Amino acid sequence: MRITPQDASLRTCEICALAPVMPVLVVEDAACARPLAQALVAGGLPALEVTLRTGAALDAIREMAQVKGGVVGAGTLITPKDAEAAKAAGAQFGVSPGATDALLDACEAIGLPLLPGAATATEAMRLLARGYGMLKFFPAEASGGAPALKAIGAPLPQISFCPTGGISPANAESYLSLPNVVCAGGSWVAPADLVKAGDWGAIEALARDASRLGKS
């Protein structure tokens, strides 16, 4: 059951490499979860991050875990209890805005691959020293955007990133063109109005467009 930081990073890197964009989802109604996941997967975005920001999040993970072809993870993991609840709900990986020893210890103990967050070279180096080579760069735009991530990558080329926070179709390519970026996290592929309207066709189209980013 236990997972090493090195194996955790290998697994999260594999998941991030499934598509250029990982949808960051805030699900208010678990009844929408399965059709939402189906639309995103059909559009070419199989790796899904459900943030633990709503009361429906864990139920949404349970629903999405049943969708063929999808790989569902839990975002906004802050505490060991968050990690345990996410794993019990069926999450195949976790994502955190930062990293604490308590959270890292818990995820390793229960075998939940974690994508921990870092915004500075010091934070990235500390995680690398523990064995984590695949990180979340958050908050991406507020932390200097693609130029900052490019600068961090110069002395730390052995670390790969999934930038998240302020990513949009307008700036995604600037991140995806960097050699240290595997994918980018974004919420634009599942806007709240389309989810509320149940317009799964429109969401699938947005996902399909996002799946083509970085391939031109």
Active site (catalytic) residues: 49, 136
CA-based nearest residue to 188, from 173, 212, 210: 210
CA distance 6 to 33: 31
Burial 44-55 (b: 16+ CB within 10 A, else e): bbbbbbbbbebe
Q: For residue 188, give both structure tokens.
A: 């634009």
Beta strands 134-137 and 160-163: pairing type?
parallel
Beta strands 114-115 and 93-95: pairing type?
parallel
CA distance 5 to 113: 8
- For residues 57, 65, 12, 144, the Cα torsion angle rounded to the nearest 10 degrees is -40
> Which residues contact residue 197 at a Cβ distance below 8 angstroms, ignoring those fewer than 6 apart?
none
